[in-house]
């Protein structure tokens, strides 16, 4: 066993530029359990200086899916703005862009069951009011203290939203029970998923 001075596992990274970073990432992927890799990770954890996050992994492991979810979650946080405000403005508390009255304008996805489909059609023209206080859903559920929370991405029940790349989803819950999902398409248009129906709503002026 050598009695020489211990080397700094991060020394090569600090002076080696992109090539050293590429070698380190390859080492982490190829030999995650080796002593040298563990020492490198321990040293990096103990001396955090990074401003850039790298997502690495073998092909097909889900890197793009993970990044897409993170971007959607970030957009959901940015969407906590009053309609018309820019992303550089300080966000208000709560989901100000959602608060107010919305009119059920169309059915985007009708339930397969004929009775529930008739019930969904009966909602057309109704007004749904979102507030920090009491809220009642289209299905008749009521909540005195609703909780709004951003979700990573709209669910598959909302269909193809490729025309709305900035779409974000908010879940309305009451005492830990999810009541409905809201997808913000624009300042003037949202989708509501309640049960097995999806509605299109427009802001009421």
Say yes or no: 117 and 42 in one domain. Answer: no
- Environment class of residue 88 by beta-carbon count within 10 Å: exposed (0-12), middle (13-18) or buried (19+)? exposed
133-151: pLDDT as tens digits: 888 898 888 888 888 888 8
- Environment class of residue 169 by beta-carbon count within 10 Å: exposed (0-12), middle (13-18) or buried (19+)? buried
Secondary structure letter of residue 8 according to DSSP: P
Mean pLDDT, all residues of the chain: 81
Say yes or no: 108 and 59 in one domain. Answer: no
User: Domain span at residue 118?
Assistant: 100-203
Task: Tell me what percent of the residues of the chain surpass a pLDDT of 70.
Answer: 83
State the alpha helices, DSSP H only, in the chain.
Answer: 11-30, 35-46, 63-78, 114-121
How much is the pTM?
0.55
37-61: pLDDT as tens digits: 888 888 888 877 666 777 888 888 8
- Domain membership of residue 5 (yes or no) is no
- Domain membership of residue 90 (yes or no) is no
The CB-based long-range contact list for 183-187 (8 Å cut-off, 24+ gap) reads: 183/154, 183/158, 184/79, 184/97, 184/98, 185/161, 187/83, 187/84, 187/97
Say yes or no: 174 and 104 in one domain. Answer: yes
- Domain membership of residue 18 (yes or no) is yes
């Amino acid at each position: 066993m050598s009695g020489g001075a211990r080397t700094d596992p991060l020394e090569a990274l600090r002076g080696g530029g992109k090539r050293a970073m590429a070698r380190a990432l390859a080492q982490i992927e190829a030999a995650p359990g080796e002593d040298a890799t563990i020492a490198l990770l321990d040293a990096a954890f103990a001396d955090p200086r990074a401003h850039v996050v790298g997502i690495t992994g073998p092909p097909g492991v889900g890197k793009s899916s993970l990044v897409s979810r993170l971007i959607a979650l970030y957009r959901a946080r940015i969407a906590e703005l009053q309609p018309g405000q820019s992303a550089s403005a300080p966000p208000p508390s709560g989901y100000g862009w959602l608060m107010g009255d919305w009119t059920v304008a169309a059915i985007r996805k009708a339930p397969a069951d004929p009775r529930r489909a008739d019930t969904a059609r009966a909602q057309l023209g109704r007004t749904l009011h979102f507030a920090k206080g009491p809220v009642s859903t289209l299905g008749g559920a009521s909540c005195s203290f609703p909780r709004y929370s951003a979700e990573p991405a709209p669910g598959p029940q909302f269909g193809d939203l490729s025309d709305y790349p900035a779409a974000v989803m908010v879940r309305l819950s009451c005492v830990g029970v999810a009541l409905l999902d809201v997808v913000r398409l624009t300042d003037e248009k949202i989708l509501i998923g309640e049960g097995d129906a999806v509605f299109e709503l427009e802001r009421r002026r």
